[in-house]
Structure 1
Amino acid sequence: MMKRRWMLVTVAMLAVAPVQATTWGTDTVQDPVSGKPCAVSSPASFGGYVYQWPEKYDQVFWPLTDPMGIWLCDASGFATFIGDIELEEGEKQAIAALLRDAPRLPEQATLAARLERLEAIYALRTLTPDARSRILRALAYQYQSDGQQARADALREQARTLMEARLQDQALPLDLRLKYLFVTANYARERGDAAEADRRLDALATRLREAQKDDKVKDYAAYLDELIVPSRTIAPGGVLAPEP
């Protein structure tokens, strides 16, 4: 499972900060398919400003939204999002079979080639609905960044279906409920359904008032509350972002 340190929005990093650069180092992990060493990028420095970048409307964040956050192991051709390196035996066998017939990707493979490989491999991964939704949203943002808007839209639609199904679960944790109401509202507005988007944002606003009383989620709730107004200006069609 993807390391939680890169998957959870921490309270400490939610503060608004000036836009700054991120930096990367290198690390070595074991290729889960070949068992050989795999050289990968590893975050060296970043700050809370990453939670104010445009991908916040998908609620996925750096380093998942950075091309360097895609790990590619040369020995086998295995690709994964940063930190998500552990495979179950069934996953390993299915992915190894896929890679045996796949062309070798060079170290400097294009983002388009990496995304195609990444998407094919994640289709074979065993994921919870929440994890798959997050992966689909991260893939969508990366495709959008690469100028492949149609593919980004298709993956967001898949993620929307998963999130809406989860919203029907009364036991869904509050932080996920807030997140999914926000993201599905953004997706509705982007596809041109402003009425549905407003309905979901109104439902979110009600939940946010409740969440302000919950110490576990109140900081996240305050963060989302600040995003409601700009989210209402997301332009239909095109990239998922408010109108300038």
Structure 2
Amino acid sequence: MLSIALLPRTKPLAVGYLAVLLSINATATTWVESEVDDPILAGETCHVSEPASYGSYIYHWSSKYDQVFWPYTDPHGIWVCEASGFVGLIGDFALTEQEKTSIASYLTSRRSAPGTLEETLTALESVYALRDLDIHGKNHLKRLLARWYQELGNTDKATQYRQAALEEIRDMLAGAESGAINEYQHLQYLYLAAAYSHTLDQPAQSQAYHIAFEQLVSGIKQPDNLDFADYLSEILQDISKMPRNGELLLPSQD
């Protein structure tokens, strides 16, 4: 199950196996080769890459508009096992017995591990459809796929994932008053609802979510969320400058 604790917030986290070397001035990330056990085929190993260094600059790259971050937005952050064909996000190889059975059955229908990035993304989605994700993990995956397909130039597919993610976000926001989501999530989902409504050419709804976001920010209860609220407020200023064309990218950005 994809752990939300593994998902970057607004500053680098020391996450499990990650050996993090922070660099204030650098804007590059580095990787080291590694091996992990194949979660499907006992005795087999998967050749993967693990982060060696990164910095807080990753939270200012354009993927921030979808609230998805490196290393998940790097091809190295999608691990592929050549022997079994298993595909998973970096570090997310722990499977329940039920997941293992379902995924092993699916993989027997595949001739080989995916080759191209597009094939890898398709396999990633198929494998995660058989995994026990909570609603936050499912939403993160849709947003991640939206960002990936935008980077690949497939705006139509990116738009489809953002629309699907927005529908889930609206459902989660509807339960905010009952405590179904915490304050941090409430801030993030209001931002995403405003951003996605904007790019999907729903200006009235985008404005309504923007106002709700500002109201929530004005009454922050958890001091730890103040920096996150400021971070999202800055990003929302960018959103208003973007064309409503299905993409989340400033016109001046590459």
TM-score by length of 2: 0.88
Aligned with 2:66 (options 58, 69, 77): 58
Give the whole-Å Cα distance in 2 for the aligned partners of 1:215 and 1:26.
39
Post-superposition offset of 1:242: 2.8
Post-superposition offset of 1:148: 2.0
The answer on whether the counterparts of 1:186 and 1:234 sit within 8 Å (CA) in structure 2 is no
Partner residue in 2 for 1:215: 223
Aligned to 1:195, the other structure's residue is in SS state: helix
Partner residue in 1 for 2:33: 26
Aligned to 2:223, the other structure's residue is in SS state: coil
The answer on whether the counterparts of 2:242 and 2:251 sit within 8 Å (CA) in structure 1 is yes
Structure 1 range deviating more: 145-154 or 134-143: 145-154
User: Runs of 5+ in structure 1 lacking a partner?
Assistant: none
Aligned with 2:140 (options 134, 140, 143): 134
Instruction: Indicate how the Cα distance of structure 1 residues 3 and 177 shifts in structure 2: closer, same or farther if over 3 A, else same.
Output: closer
Partner residue in 1 for 2:155: 149
Post-superposition offset of 1:6: 3.9
Aligned to 1:198, the other structure's residue is in SS state: helix
* Superposed CA offset, 1:15-61 (max 9, x none): xx767111111222111111321111111111111111111111011
Aligned with 1:201 (options 187, 198, 210): 210
Partner residue in 2 for 1:122: 128
Structure 1 range deviating more: 92-101 or 19-28: 19-28
RMSD: 1.8
Q: Which amino acid aligns with 1:34?
A: L
Aligned to 2:224, the other structure's residue is in SS state: coil
Q: How does 1:1-244 map to 2 (within 5 A)?
A: 1-2=1-2, 6-11=6-11, 20-35=27-42, 36-105=44-113, 109-169=115-175, 170=177, 171=179, 172-211=181-220, 214-244=222-252
Q: Which amino acid aligns with 2:70?
A: W
* Superposed CA offset, 1:142-173 (max 9, x none): 12212222221111122111111111112110
Give the whole-Å Cα distance in 1 for the aligned partners of 2:208 and 2:149.
28
* Superposed CA offset, 1:48-80 (max 9, x none): 111111111110111111111110001100001
The answer on whether the counterparts of 1:111 and 1:146 sit within 8 Å (CA) in structure 2 is no
Q: Which amino acid aligns with 1:93?
A: T
The answer on whether the counterparts of 1:6 and 1:63 sit within 8 Å (CA) in structure 2 is no
Structure 1 range deviating more: 231-240 or 81-90: 231-240
Structure 1 range deviating more: 233-242 or 32-41: 233-242
Aligned to 2:46, the other structure's residue is in SS state: strand
Instruction: Indicate how the Cα distance of structure 1 residues 196 and 4 shifts in structure 2: closer, same or farther if over 3 A, else same.
Output: closer
Aligned length: 238
Aligned to 1:204, the other structure's residue is in SS state: helix
Give the whole-Å Cα distance in 2 for the aligned partners of 1:210 and 1:229.
20
The answer on whether the counterparts of 1:11 and 1:220 sit within 8 Å (CA) in structure 2 is no
Instruction: Indicate how the Cα distance of structure 1 residues 19 and 236 shifts in structure 2: closer, same or farther if over 3 A, else same.
Output: farther
The answer on whether the counterparts of 1:28 and 1:38 sit within 8 Å (CA) in structure 2 is yes
Post-superposition offset of 1:11: 4.3
Give the whole-Å Cα distance in 2 for the aligned partners of 1:20 and 1:143.
23
Q: Runs of 4 or more off by more than 3 Å in structure 1?
A: 1-6, 10-13
Q: Which amino acid aligns with 1:99?
A: L
Instruction: Indicate how the Cα distance of structure 1 residues 18 and 222 shifts in structure 2: closer, same or farther if over 3 A, else same.
Output: farther
Aligned to 2:70, the other structure's residue is in SS state: coil
User: Runs of 5+ in structure 2 lacking a partner?
Assistant: 14-23
Instruction: Indicate how the Cα distance of structure 1 residues 196 and 18 shifts in structure 2: closer, same or farther if over 3 A, else same.
Output: farther
